[in-house]
Amino acid sequence: MKVIEKDTDELKLAKWWEPTDSNKILCTLCPRYCKIGEGQPGFCYIRQNHNGKLYTIGYGRPTGFAIDPVEKKPLNHFLPGTAILSFGTAGCNLGCKFCQNWSISKAKLDDFNALISSPEDVIMLAKRYSTPSIAYTYNDPTIFGEYVIDISKIARQEGINSVMVTAGYIDKDARKDVYKYIDAANVDLKGFTERFYNKLTFSHLTDVLDTLVWLKNETDIWFEITTLLIPDENDSPEEIKRESDWILENLGDSIPLHFTAFHPDFRMMDKPHTPAETLTTARNIALETGIKFVYVGNVHDLEGQTTYCPNCNTKLIKRDWHSVLSNKIVDSKCYKCKAVVPGIFN
Ligand code: SF4
């Protein structure tokens, strides 16, 4: 794929790349490790080789902003009921056939008439709308890591949180840079077989598991996990059980896990919507395995969207879809038995 001629004076030089012997550039930002020829983009489109250097053409070019509830990311244990300024860019480093956001992730910047927004502009927007957090979301923010770093660094100074909504498909060294000023993340664990990752996302499960273990063991970042259940692809009780066992063993019992409903989209129009019973079955399997906070999403299910006290089982946060109906957590504790609820609540 050829890219449109660029005036490199206007472009942001990328981090995480090196030249190769074959006159190509090796991008080391994600485990795809694209070798990119002159005038060409990498798989994610927004990292491009111009005159032997790698540029990030998504830098400062959001495809649009929205104010979302933080529950939409989804994050249920991070400042519940608050608003979050959300944006993404064009492009993506995964190739999910079921992408639920494909009009953004598969777009080229020129298709999108992207905005021009400096990191300071993004901070100004968060302040104008009084959102306590900014989400890097919609496409995968890994691919605009330089922009994430510059925004989240200022956000940290200004007391604004930064949230990555990501597939977690990122190089081990690059993630230390990209997540330096990140406060929370939701990581998609898209399935629990290499077959699924390979065939339907063009990526690899092991790299994502590695990022999850790194987040748990090497950082203080609050994170939650989402699995979009697709009928007959990743929704078998056996696969859910193996995923739950792995989470319990490697991440513990307190990382919230969200099972969300798929709708037919992009290159996967032949599958039906996920039945609500499938989500409930998955939730029950994870709870029985020992994971304490398991939620369902993209459906109305008061039971499956409630946060219960991990000690006395009192209903603490009632939700409907992305709305918080009531919140009885006080100082990060159950109002009744005073047990600590894992998360960031104030
Ligand atoms: S970030 Fe983009 S260009 Fe770099 S390796 Fe990943 S897909 Fe390829």
Are 133 and 183 in contact by the 8 Å Cβ rule? The answer is: yes
Nearest CA-CA partner of 247 in 232, 233, 226: 226
Q: Give residue 45 CA to ligand 1 midpoint distance, Å.
A: 8
Separation of alpha carbons 60 and 224, rounded Å: 27
**What digits encode the pLDDT tens for the residues 275-315?**
999 999 999 999 999 999 999 999 999 999 999 999 999 99
Are 293 and 304 in contact by the 8 Å Cβ rule? The answer is: no
Separation of alpha carbons 66 and 113, rounded Å: 16
Ligand 1 pocket member 44 (CB < 6 A): yes
Name the closest-CA residue to atom 3, ligand 1.
Answer: 42
Name the closest-CA residue to atom 6, ligand 1.
Answer: 30
Are 254 and 90 in contact by the 8 Å Cβ rule? The answer is: no
**What digits encode the pLDDT tens for the residues 245-281?**
999 999 999 999 999 999 877 776 788 899 999 999 9
Beta strands in the chain (DSSP E): 12-13, 17-19, 25-27, 35-36, 47-50, 53-56, 64-69, 83-88, 133-136, 161-166, 184-188, 222-229, 257-261, 294-297, 307-308, 315-320, 323-327, 329-330, 333-334
**What digits encode the pLDDT tens for the residues 154-195?**
999 999 999 999 999 999 999 999 999 999 999 999 999 999
The C-alpha torsion from 60 through 64 and 65 to 66, rounded to 10°, is -160
Q: Is the dihedral of CA 97, 99, 103, 109 positive or negative?
A: negative
Which residue blocks in the chain are alpha helix, DSSP H?
102-105, 109-112, 119-128, 145-158, 172-178, 194-196, 205-218, 237-251, 276-289
Ligand 1 pocket member 30 (CB < 6 A): yes
With pLDDT > 70 as the criterion, what percentage of the chain qualifies? 94
Q: Give residue 183 CA to ligand 1 midpoint distance, Å.
A: 24
Nearest CA-CA partner of 63 in 11, 101, 115, 107: 115
Q: How large is the average pLDDT for residues 125-135?
A: 98
- How does residue 137 score in pLDDT terms, banded at 50, 70 and 90? very high
